[in-house]
Structure 1
Amino acid sequence: MGYAALWTPDDLPLQGLGLMRFADEGWGDPDRDPTVLVRTAVEAGVSLLDTAEMYGNEELVGRAIAAHRDHVTLCSKFGVYWGPSGRHDDWSVRADPDTLRSAIEGNLRRLNVETIDLYYLHHRSEETPIEETVTAMADLLRSGKIRAIGLSNVTIDDIRRAHAVHPIQAVQEQWSLSQRDVEPMMPALAELGITLVAHSPLGHGALVGSSRSPLTETLREVAAKYGVTPSQTALAWVHLRGRRSGQPVVPLPGTARVTHLLANVAAAQLDIADRRVPWSGGV
């Protein structure tokens, strides 16, 4: 099977939906029912849905997307595994070809699909050269088990080495007003034609919680001026910076609530400019 990009810069997905917090207890709640959330996302034009082996919810995602499979770009990840302690910081990376081949079978079985549209290496490995991992991922693509290859939590050097083995569709990294470490990577992504999927555009909630930092205070003031929420203002910043960067960017806010999903969709259309927030400028 040959390689065909999932999208081009001219038909870039407007926004994705991160499903890390997608949980089974929402059934029957109109704001948190998994099938209602997916249906609402698709109807609103948000069809790029993102999960991972590590999240432990692929079976739930599979059930929720079943009625919409032909209208969903399904993304999942492999390579990060929890340790026995259960602590949040107890995890390791396994990116060798044998682990990959075992992982994809589990992904497909749990999601109840024949193909995953965009399959990511979830985190760079210190043990397995990325060329070995991507060569094995390309084998999955040729066999029809995935449609495109993505990388997450990697370096510029990783990206160039991986792309030399096989074209990379997307790199997923955090990008928000409070976390801008990805910006030095963006010229290389633009050069190689790789989309940045910008996860955690609300800074893992740090931009919209109870913090009273100068940045969050400014967000509140700007949001009030335009009659929107601080969350929408922070997400609008990622959309606008992406459009002005010359780099394909798909923001990936995560939520398990329909009300938050609809607010995020509305944020993609906001036209906000305020000199106190760095809306433009080089990246």
Structure 2
Amino acid sequence: MTPSPLWPTDSPPRQGLGLMRLRDPAPGDAPDPDRDPGAVVHAALDAGVTLLDTAGMYGNEELVGRALAGRREEAVLCSKFGVVWGPSGRFDDWSVHADAATVARSCEGSMRRLGVDVIDLYYLHHRSEETPVEETVGAMAELVAAGKIRAIGLSNVTVDDLRRAAAVHPVTALQEEWSLVAGAAEAFLPTLAELGTTLVAHSPLGHGRLSGEDTPADVRAALAAPAARLGVTPGQVALAWVHSRGRRLAPGVVPLPGATSTGHLRANVAAASLELTEEELAALDAVSAGGRVPTG
């Protein structure tokens, strides 16, 4: 187990902020201080949320860099490379480029857009079917040696990919989806513990499925009682469950909810401190994606 260069292995950040949807106001929109990108980022830092996560494919690295101006040293700044949008503009039109030349070129582009001389945590955004992960991580290790990135991360990979990558260079973080409706990340936990790698759990609200009408009926019912008892939203309870499940199953899990307003950010921060009862946790575990018994 190799110590992380960003945080103690047994004490990662409590919660991060996903910036995928952070955008400047559209032309003609009335000013909304609650949704000002700089205000959202500053509110996160003020609340102790220092892990800020973006990606080249999000198209907002320049905005994130501007929002972070003057407070760069307070943040653990994360970005990702490898996923490239296709010409159609459709959400399903994308490909992965993870060869060594792309690694170097992508990092230079991200640093330029972010306005920084080092990226704290740089992820391969998605596994490649063409480029062996050893080649990709070897090129990322050269970025570490050059002082352009501080640590290496992987996202949307397999357990085998993670092990092969870690044989080339320590992997500080693995980013995978984990929520009441997505439990595949739990299969990584034994390997993460062995390698000393932190799980950064993105989309803990299930891409919005846990804060609206798309919530499965049994999950909605399990969220309703603790939400009423605590006087919070079901989405906050869903996020609190990820925090609790992470503490119970692994030493280092960082939930990464997204937010585009200071109000939503503060609700997410408050959710990290919610205390669910054993009975509430058992009910949520039972209806979670990791706790469901396969029926066919």
Which interval holds the TM-score relative to the shorter structure? over 0.9
- Which residue does the alignment assign to 1:234? 238
Instruction: State the AA in 1 paired with 2:150.
Output: R
2:23 is equivalent to residue 16 of structure 1: no
Q: Give 4+ residue runs of structure 1 displaced > 3 Å after superposition.
A: none
CA displacement 1:217-253 (0-9 Å, x = unmatched): 3212331122111111000000001111133100000
- Equivalence for 1:153: 156
* Cα offset, 1:29, TM superposition: 1.9
Partner of 2:209: 206
Counterpart Cα distance in 2 of 1:143 and 1:112: 17
1:97 maps to which residue? Answer: 100
* Separation in structure 1 between the aligned mates of residue 90 and residue 224 of structure 2, nearest angstrom: 34
Residue 194 of structure 1 pairs with residue 197 of structure 2:
yes
The aligned amino acid for 1:237 is W
Partner of 1:51: 54
RMSD: 1.9
Task: Report what 1:269 is aligned to.
Answer: 273
Q: Deviations over 1:2-23 (max 9, x none)?
A: x962011343101000000000
**Equivalent-residue separation in structure 2 for 1:264 and 1:185 (angstroms):** 25
2:5 corresponds in structure 1 to 5
Among all aligned residue pairs of Structure 1 and Structure 2, give the percentage whose two residues are the same amino acid: 61
Give the number of equivalent residue pairs.
Answer: 281
| 1:119-143 superposed Cα distances (whole Å, 9 cap, x missing partner) | 0000000000000000000000110
Q: Conserved in 1, the CA contact under 8 Å of 2:10 and 2:251?
A: no
1:107-126 counterparts in 2 under 5 A?
Answer: 107-126=110-129
> Contact 2:57–2:85 at 8 Å: present in 1 too?
yes
Note closer, same or farther for the CA distance 1:22–1:231 as it changes in structure 2 (3 Å cut): same
**CA deviation map 1:79-111 (0-9, x unaligned):** 000001111100000000111111111100000
Spell out the pairing of 1:28-67 with structure 2 (5 A cutoff).
28-67=31-70
Q: What runs of 5+ residues in structure 2 fail to find an aligned partner?
A: 292-296
Offset, 1:66: 1.0
Name the CA distance, whole Å, in 2 between partners of 1:107 and 1:206. Answer: 31
Q: Structure 1 residues 10, 264: closer, same or farther in 2, change over 3 A?
A: same
| Structure 2 SS opposite 1:9 | coil
- What TM-score do you get using the length of structure 2 for normalisation? 0.91
2:264 counterpart residue number? 260
- In the TM superposition, what is the alpha-carbon distance from 1:211 to its structure 2 partner? 2.8
TM-score (norm 1): 0.95
Q: Give the deviation of 1:35 after TM superposition.
A: 1.1
Name the aligned partner's letter for residue 43 of structure 1.
D
Equivalent positions of 1:124-163 (< 5 A) are: 124-163=127-166
